[in-house]
Amino acid sequence: MPVIRLALAQMNAVVGGFAQNVATLERFRAQSALMSADLVLSPELSLIGYPPEDLLLKEGFIESANVAMMDLSRAENLPPLLVGTVVSEGSSGLTLAPSSDGRDVTRTLLNDESPRHIANALVAVSEQGMVATATKRLLPNYDVFDELRYFHPGVGPQTIINIKDVAVGLLICEDVWTLDGPASELAREGATLLVVANASPFARGRRDEREAMLRERALETKCPIAYVNLVGGQDELVFDGQSVVVDAHGDVIARASAFNEELLIVEVEARASSAGVGIDARYARDERRTEAVHVNHVATPPSEIEEIYQALVMGTRDYLRKNGFRTAILGLSGGIDSSLVATIAVDAVGARAVRGFAMPSRYSSEHSLKDAYELARRLDIDVTTIAIEQAHQAFASMLSDALDTEPSGLTDENLQSRIRGVLLMGVSNATGSIVLTTGNKSEMAVGYSTLYGDSAGGFAVIKDVAKTLVYELCRYRNELALELGDPEPIPLSVLEKAPSAELRPDQRDDQSLPPYEVLDPLLEMYVESDATAEEMIASGYDEELVLRITRLVDLSEYKRRQMPPGVRISKKAFGRDRRMPITNAFRPESL
């Protein structure tokens, strides 16, 4: 059987960064030539970044994508490249236009003035220009996906290209997930190798699901499948890469690493076929280099806790880098959440780019301040103390005059948190640093946070991390440090003490909430699994507790709408995944 050498360009695309994306694609294509690849695969919408969202409604954005595609089509003496982009609605989305040197090349043109008449596409580019286009058939409209808002489903015949007598069927992400769907149709039409361009966001357990699905599809179609995935952070989403190739039996024969840009070279054996549009993959090759290329590397996948930690680091790094922030600041309370956020920030952008602020009040314990400074010492970051007692007294006095009573209880507690938020935002304004908030998913779920206080900031690093998982991540990071021969970044005292906001004397979280070991499974059922109160009670939870927690979650929606974006690591995060109305009269107990 013929053997085809594929290059999977696992790239970190920038939404709307056409020049950067073209440069990245050209770099990977040039590297692929040095490795004698027959075909280079890039991820879904690699030319424009994913997800572009309402940029797709701007005509100038579509025009820029067309111009960028023309830049890619001019390359010579390079292997054919599959590029993720958008094309106009129609059977092919392409029309022929003569090039300046007289050759016929293919040019992407809009057939309608409305930029919404577009399809999600994979375009084959060779020395002959743009020679074939596949359009995405199945448009996901669940979880974080909203593709029916922007794209029309692909129409016309499925696309097959032929390289070295191998019929390569082109698919885009969702098209490979469906039993007896586009992948099966391509196999019936003669494809003997399937390639899939993907922008599949990270979530816990997602890699195992992908590889199980690819095994099923390979057995169904009797074709090997090459699956290239995007890598990098984009707002709340993180793409983990882990591109993979399976043979016709569904066995993994190559896998790229997680959370890294990488060019994965793999040789795939496929049945000979004359189906498809013939593409000349010949170009000048250095056979000496070819022999030395490492092919079919199978990277060992990280553990689940390692995956999550890497996702948080990459999501934070790319949010700062792609939005132009050079430095980050955060409040250091000496607690577990701020300790984890500070550690992630240092791993993401380096110690010199992170600065902590300890802001003790009259209720802050001496050991918490000591823990904050010890953490900073271990992380080698600068830390500054700004005592808030003077401001606390001044604000309390002004409120007392306005209300004719001394502020107390929750009013006084939230006042302290808001003073800290004002100070951090003031430093942000003065220095251009982004404020990293330190609230976790458990707190945000039940509203155990202060609007314009601990929620004030530009990026919520652990927004989708439950409190119990915060502890697991801290232990993992300490264990990793020991394995590397480094000091543990998070002091043991931080891990051992009871969590507390320290906004009143002897305060502990479990005075207001159930223990997190009880709370987090309830929240997972209600928020991530959409379980009803009845189902939660039937599973063994106390009825009063269930109704109380679900009520807190529902009433806190208005707070969550005002929280900054943060890294998504679960299959249902607050924000893109879970869109609940704020004004909402439905209550579980009303059933």
Task: Give the residue among 4, 3, 589, 6 at the shortest CA–CA distance from 297.
Answer: 6
Catalytic residue among 127, 136, 211, 307: 136
What token pair was written down for 448? 């155990």
Q: Is the peptide bond before 51 cis (omega within 30 degrees of 0)?
A: yes
CA atoms of 457 and 341, how far apart (whole Å): 13
At residue 132, the 3 state secondary structure works out as strand
Give yes or no for a contact between 32 and 262, defined as CB atoms under 8 angstroms apart.
no
Q: How many residues does the chain have?
A: 591
- 223 part of the active site: no
What token pair was written down for 488? 């543990």
Catalytic residue among 173, 322, 474, 528: 173
Give yes or no for a contact between 567 and 202, defined as CB atoms under 8 angstroms apart.
no
DSSP state of 516: H
Bridging pattern class, strands 354-358 and 382-385? parallel
Cα distances (angstroms) measured from residue 423 to each of 51, 364, 413, 416, 426: 34, 17, 16, 11, 5
- 44 part of the active site: yes
Give yes or no for a contact between 328 and 349, defined as CB atoms under 8 angstroms apart.
yes
The values of phi and psi at residue 241, to 5°, are 70, -120
CA atoms of 306 and 302, how far apart (whole Å): 6
The values of phi and psi at residue 269, to 5°, are -95, 125
Residues facing residue 121 across a β-bridge: 85, 135
- 173 part of the active site: yes
Close Cβ partners of 317 (under 8 Å, ≥ 6 residues apart): 233, 348, 349
In one letter, which amino acid is 111? N
At residue 334, the 3 state secondary structure works out as coil
Q: Give the position of tokens 């269930």.
A: 546
DSSP state of 241: B
| Burial (CB count <10 Å: 0-12, 13-18, 19+), residue 242 | buried
In one letter, which amino acid is 21? N
- The residues carrying an active-site annotation are 44, 136, 173
